[in-house]
């Protein structure tokens, strides 16, 4: 038994099925301990990928995802992924290796102040000093990650806490009394023995506790009553559901959907909530959301803050009454003061609101018809643009092909700028928790890790990774990981040889394309070199044929990359965000 085994026991008790990592001597006992208990250890090619994969597991399953990385650069490589998880409110547990407690500050390998780096970006940041405290600290980390507003936590695990006592004695140079030849040596050995005694004291009695379900924040009854009154009196209500509504994973999706249906107002979905109602639900609207928000008389922001995505609240009409449901008081009141703020779990609150609704009312039909007409008009515009005769493949047309090819159990992973944002207008997630994007941080490079996590949690589902050719550069080496772990991911690279989302406005505003030009790289051949299948698509007439081939390969467990040569497009002109 060693510290790595204790950590593995805690992970097992917490329901963790996967541990993502890039190996290092500082954390090896954690990996071997996890494997011995049947936790699948998934090794990747970059530490950020490990955290992104853990993030995806947390989002889909509702159980915190876990990554373990080695000290120093291993830990620093995860900072962006951890910040992304913080802003996306994902419960991720990061285990970081560290130099031995007795060697801190003495020039040991990869010894830096990791706590100072992580403290601003996580809900809990702790360094463990004794073996027995590994258990209690890690259990507290799981509790904190899931409580209130979910988010990442960081637990630093010094290497001398992870190996067995005999190995650590040898590691730090502790000697038997008979081997000590001088008084100075004796003093050093006395110090080392005292330190060892403190580090290992009580370690044999350390045992993990049963998993505790996180406390779910509930709303005050009077707030529900007031919000229900606002909704019942509305002629043009609208519900906007965001990622925070899904933080409890698959176990809450059915109840969330039923609540939205009983409320009966038109619904727009964003982030992880996309797919909640399927692809063709009568309450679901997809286009011209800004106009709908301006016309609505009551808007329910269900886990959605008024940040840049809602133009800091300016998209909502000034006279519109706002019901803001959020676990975060700060987010509920960001930039716009709501008529009614409800600081509670979104799913539970919508269920409470639904119980106050008259499910048989149909007085919203004129409002719904108006929004449906706008949706249809926008769909016609998209279809006309997709049919435009252009060189190579129009991005809208290949996105139509992807949407037609999606299986009912498919999961879409979005990692990119222009191509991926274009796809969001056309591809419709088929069910709950079937759309993964980075979230508010807008981080490029999430795709490979998200795909790994999604495919592990849903091994029988089709996982489609939608990559821009810019973002593909961050993670294409993880095709090696897909292959080694038998993950049949379908990656679609929208290859327009450009950072198009930036280039379009940069050239228009500044007259220079500097820094935005790429090559039409043979990404399909890169995938082949890493052991996967590579396909090229540059003829629009073959979209269906090539995508069917990709699906067939993935169904056999083969990772496949489709390199789609795109034409230039003005579809998203003027879409730059600030």
Query: Do 401 and 509 belong to one domain?
Result: yes
Average confidence (pLDDT) over 128-150: 96
In the block, tokens 């198009």 appear at 500
Query: Do 227 and 199 belong to one domain?
Result: no
Q: What is the dihedral of CA 379, 430, 435, 569, to 10 degrees?
A: -30
Structural domain includes residue 483: yes
Q: Would you state the pLDDT for residue 324?
A: 98
Please give the C-alpha separations between residue 461 and each of 3, 134, 231, 458, in angstroms, as whole numbers: 36, 36, 38, 5
- Which residues form the domain of 243? 221-365
Average confidence (pLDDT) over 343-357: 95
Q: How far apart are CA 45 and CA 22, in angstroms?
A: 7
Domain final residue, candidates 205, 232, 258 = 205
Structural domain includes residue 375: no
Average confidence (pLDDT) over 339-363: 88
pLDDT digits (tens, 9 = 90+) for 535-564: 999 999 999 999 999 999 999 999 999 999
Average confidence (pLDDT) over 147-165: 94
Q: Would you state the pLDDT for residue 168?
A: 82
Residue 474, classified by CB atoms within 10 Å of its CB into exposed (0-12), middle (13-18) or buried (19+), is buried
In the block, tokens 């004291």 appear at 201
Query: Do 323 and 418 belong to one domain?
Result: no
pLDDT digits (tens, 9 = 90+) for 59-79: 999 999 999 999 999 999 999
| Report field, pTM of the whole predicted structure over 0.75 | yes
Token pair for 345: 């779990």
Query: Do 231 and 189 belong to one domain?
Result: no
Structural domain includes residue 371: no
170 — pLDDT class (breaks 50, 70, 90): confident
Closest among 493, 491, 490 to 557, alpha carbons compared: 490
Query: Do 444 and 354 belong to one domain?
Result: no
Q: Would you state the pLDDT for residue 1?
A: 79
Structural domain includes residue 507: yes
Q: How far apart are CA 242 and CA 334, in angstroms?
A: 15
Q: Would you state the pLDDT for residue 173?
A: 67
Closest among 348, 357, 89 to 219, alpha carbons compared: 348
Per the structure, how many domains does the chain have?
Answer: 3
pLDDT above 90: residue 44: yes
pLDDT above 70: residue 432: yes
Structural domain includes residue 380: no
Q: How far apart are CA 432 and CA 410, in angstroms?
A: 10
pLDDT digits (tens, 9 = 90+) for 284-318: 999 999 999 999 999 999 999 999 999 999 999 99
| β partners of residue 239 | 267, 300
- For residues 304 and 346, is the Cβ–Cβ distance under 8 A? no
Sequence-distant (6+) residues with CB within 8 A of 20 are: 42, 43, 44, 49, 50, 51, 53, 54, 65, 66, 67, 68, 449, 452, 453
Q: Would you state the pLDDT for residue 206?
A: 86
Q: How far apart are CA 427 and CA 466, in angstroms?
A: 11
pLDDT above 70: residue 188: yes
Q: How far apart are CA 98 and CA 104, in angstroms?
A: 9
Can you tell me whether residue 496 is helix, strand or coil? coil
pLDDT digits (tens, 9 = 90+) for 371-416: 999 999 999 999 999 998 899 999 999 999 999 999 999 999 999 9
106 — pLDDT class (breaks 50, 70, 90): confident
Query: Do 478 and 545 belong to one domain?
Result: yes
Q: How far apart are CA 277 and CA 250, in angstroms?
A: 14
Query: Do 316 and 433 belong to one domain?
Result: no
Average confidence (pLDDT) over 166-182: 68
Q: Would you state the pLDDT for residue 190?
A: 79
Closest among 69, 4, 58 to 33, alpha carbons compared: 4
Closest among 300, 310, 220, 217 to 266, alpha carbons compared: 300
Q: Would you state the pLDDT for residue 273?
A: 96
Structural domain includes residue 370: no
Domain final residue, candidates 140, 171, 205 = 205
CATH number of residue 540's parent domain: 3.40.50.970
Structural domain includes residue 213: no
- For residues 424 and 263, is the Cβ–Cβ distance under 8 A? no
- Residues belonging to the chain: 578
Sequence-distant (6+) residues with CB within 8 A of 197 are: none
Structural domain includes residue 374: no
Q: Would you state the pLDDT for residue 176?
A: 59
Query: Do 167 and 268 belong to one domain?
Result: no
Q: Would you state the pLDDT for residue 181?
A: 62
Domain final residue, candidates 160, 177, 205 = 205
Q: Where are the beta strands (DSSP E) in 424-484?
A: 435-436, 463-468
Can you tell me whether residue 148 is helix, strand or coil? coil
Q: How far apart are CA 30 and CA 455, in angstroms?
A: 23
363 — pLDDT class (breaks 50, 70, 90): confident
In the block, tokens 């280039």 appear at 503
Closest among 433, 416, 452, 418 to 48, alpha carbons compared: 452
pLDDT above 90: residue 52: yes
In the block, tokens 């529900």 appear at 224
pLDDT above 60: residue 361: no
196 — pLDDT class (breaks 50, 70, 90): confident
Q: Would you state the pLDDT for residue 187?
A: 77
- For residues 132 and 62, is the Cβ–Cβ distance under 8 A? no
Q: Would you state the pLDDT for residue 178?
A: 54
Give the Cβ contact number of residue 544 at 10 Å.
Answer: 12
pLDDT above 80: residue 179: no
| β partners of residue 560 | 490, 533
CATH number of residue 301's parent domain: 3.40.50.1220
- For residues 279 and 301, is the Cβ–Cβ distance under 8 A? no
Can you tell me whether residue 427 is helix, strand or coil? coil
pLDDT above 90: residue 570: no
Q: Would you state the pLDDT for residue 180?
A: 59
Query: Do 76 and 164 belong to one domain?
Result: yes
Query: Do 10 and 117 belong to one domain?
Result: yes
pLDDT above 80: residue 30: yes
Give the Cβ contact number of residue 423 at 10 Å.
Answer: 24
Query: Do 306 and 394 belong to one domain?
Result: no
Query: Do 49 and 149 belong to one domain?
Result: yes
């Amino acid at each position: 038994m060693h510290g790595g085994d204790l950590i593995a026991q805690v992970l097992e008790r917490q329901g963790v099925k996967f541990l993502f990592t890039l190996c290092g001597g500082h954390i090896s006992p954690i990996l071997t301990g996890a494997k011995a208990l049947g936790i699948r250890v998934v090794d990747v090619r970059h530490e950020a990928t490990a955290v992104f994969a853990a993030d995806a597991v947390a989002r889909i399953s509702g159980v915190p995802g876990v990554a373990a990385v080695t000290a120093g650069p291993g830990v620093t490589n995860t900072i962006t992924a951890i910040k992304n998880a913080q802003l996306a409110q994902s419960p991720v547990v990061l285990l970081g290796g560290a130099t031995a407690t007795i060697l801190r500050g003495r020039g040991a390998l990869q010894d830096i102040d990791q706590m100072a780096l992580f403290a601003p970006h996580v809900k809990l940041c702790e360094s463990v000093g004794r073996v027995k405290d590994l258990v209690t600290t890690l259990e507290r980390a799981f509790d904190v990650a899931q409580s209130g507003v979910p988010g990442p936590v960081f637990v630093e695990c010094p290497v001398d806490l992870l190996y067995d006592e005999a190995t650590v004695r040898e590691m730090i140079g502790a000697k038997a009394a008979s081997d000590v030849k001088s008084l100075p040596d004796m003093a050093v050995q006395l110090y080392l023995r005292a330190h060892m005694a403190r580090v290992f004291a009580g370690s044999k009695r350390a045992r993990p506790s049963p998993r505790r379900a996180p406390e779910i924040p509930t709303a005050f009854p009077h707030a529900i009553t007031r919000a229900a009154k606002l909704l019942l009196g509305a002629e043009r209500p609208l519900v906007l559901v965001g990622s925070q509504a899904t933080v409890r994973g698959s176990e809450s999706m059915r109840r969330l959907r039923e609540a939205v249906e009983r409320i009966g107002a038109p619904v727009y979905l964003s982030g992880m909530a996309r797919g909640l109602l399927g692809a063709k639900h009568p309450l679901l609207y997809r286009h011209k959301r800004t106009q709908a928000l301006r016309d609505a008389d009551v808007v329910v922001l269900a886990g959605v803050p008024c940040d840049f995505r809602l133009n800091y609240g300016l998209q909502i009409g000034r006279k519109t009454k706002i019901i803001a449901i959020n676990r975060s008081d700060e987010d509920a009141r960001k930039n716009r003061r709501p008529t009614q703020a409800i600081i509670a779990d979104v799913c539970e609150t919508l269920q409470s609101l639904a119980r106050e609704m008259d499910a048989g009312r149909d007085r919203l039909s004129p409002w719904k018809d108006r929004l449906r007409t706008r949706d249809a008009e926008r769909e016609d515009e998209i279809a006309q643009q997709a049919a435009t005769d252009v060189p190579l493949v129009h991005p809208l047309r290949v996105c139509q092909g992807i949407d037609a090819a999606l299986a009912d159990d498919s999961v879409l992973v979005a990692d990119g700028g222009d191509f991926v944002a274009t796809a969001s207008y056309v591809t419709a997630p088929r069910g709950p928790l079937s759309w993964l994007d980075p979230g508010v941080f807008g981080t490029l490079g999430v795709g490979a890790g998200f795909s790994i996590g999604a495919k592990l949690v849903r091994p029988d589902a089709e996982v489609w990774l939608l990559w821009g050719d810019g973002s593909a550069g961050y993670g294409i080496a993880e095709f090696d990981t897909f292959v080694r772990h038998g993950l049949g991911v379908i990656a679609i690279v929208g290859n327009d040889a450009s950072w198009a989302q930036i280039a379009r406005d940069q050239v228009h505003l500044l007259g220079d394309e500097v820094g935005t030009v790429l090559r039409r790289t043979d990404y399909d051949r890169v995938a082949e070199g890493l052991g996967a299948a590579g396909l090229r698509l540059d003829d629009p007439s073959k979209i269906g044929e090539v995508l069917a081939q990709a699906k067939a390969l993935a169904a056999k467990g083969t990772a496949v990359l489709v390199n789609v040569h795109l034409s230039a497009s003005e579809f998203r002109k003027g879409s730059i965000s600030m």
